[in-house]
Amino acid sequence: MNTTMDTITTDAAAAKKAAFEANKLSKRLHRQVGQAIGDFNMIEAGDRVMVCMSGGKDSHALLDILLSMRQRAPIDFSIVAVNLDQKQPGFPAEVLPAYLKSRGVEFRIEEQDTYSIVKRLVPEGQTMCSLCSRLRRGVLYRVASEIGATKIALGHHRDDMVVTLLMNMFFGSRMKGMPPKLVSDDGRHVVIRPLAYVAETDLERWAEHRAFPIIPCSLCGNQENLQRVQTKKMIREWERQYPGRIDNMFTAMGNIVPSHMMDRKLYPFETLRATGVADADGDKAFDEEPCAPPPPTPGALRIAPDSEDTP
């Protein structure tokens, strides 16, 4: 009898803790998405937001959070979910329509056989992402015009933005990231990334909690040697050794000091002259560089303030 009661008590405690953690995660995700939308004026009154649904965890979370936020938003905006069925072999075409109907959201499934085009043009073993992305982008821009969307929402998150910055540095020799908001390359659409402040690990937890019907990408999902995959593994390892490093890199993307970089288009180095006036933000070239803290000792307690500790 005592054993049964102990088991019930333990299960109840575990369920309570799980509910508390899920509630805390929900608050954090909604706060971060709301902050990103506000900081970059992503969604305005009367907008028709096209949420691009791939079937992965990120786009599922984006739609889920935007639907929730729309219910209590101080402005009125509409949402339409759009999925591009690229005709990949074995793609479960019935999964997303069934899910979107269950959520009561307007949606459109666009069928375009970009899979065959990519497989025909890209030699076996080479990266498919670039061509696939261009084809997909063109289709989605067309659909956005056809449905009258004023914003195109993509599910890229904080880690995607940091990885893109590093990849452009490593392989493109340029300081270029993935902005939270931009005008599309055809000049006709505004693209937004409301998950810009959200960590990928939180999206993984949210997808598990919400039990989204995840559809893996069979076209590129198994390309483990992709530079993007390797770069993501690298920053995950950095984060494990030095917690907060991804956040620091992400924050740095919004704290650019042109006078301390080398881009002559952004700062007039050629005409720079001594003024004789002290500048608190001037040259600190000989100052000691900030050092990263040592990695935490195994078993050590790390305490950080968290405003979400109350359910």
| Residues annotated in a binding site for [4Fe-4S] cluster | 129, 132, 220
237-251 exposure pattern, b = at least 16 Cβ within 10 A, e = fewer: ebbeeeeebbeebbe
Tell me which residue has tokens 């076996």. 124
From the number of C-beta atoms within 10 Å of its C-beta (0-12, 13-18, 19+), residue 157 rates as: buried
Q: Which of 155, 295, 164, 177 is nearest to 237 (CA)?
A: 295
Residue set of the binding site: 129, 132, 220
Give the Cα separation of 69 and 30 in Å (integer): 7
- Region of residue 43 (phi > 0: left; psi between -120 and 50: alpha; otherwise: beta): beta
As a dihedral over the C-alpha atoms of residue 65, residue 71, residue 75, residue 80, rounded to 10 degrees, the angle is 60
Give the Cα separation of 162 and 253 in Å (integer): 8
Q: What residues pair up with 84 in beta bridges, in sequence order? A: 110
From the number of C-beta atoms within 10 Å of its C-beta (0-12, 13-18, 19+), residue 97 rates as: middle
282-301 exposure pattern, b = at least 16 Cβ within 10 A, e = fewer: eeeeeeeeeeeeeeeeeeee
Are 73 and 194 in contact by the 8 Å Cβ rule? The answer is: no
Give the Cα separation of 59 and 71 in Å (integer): 19
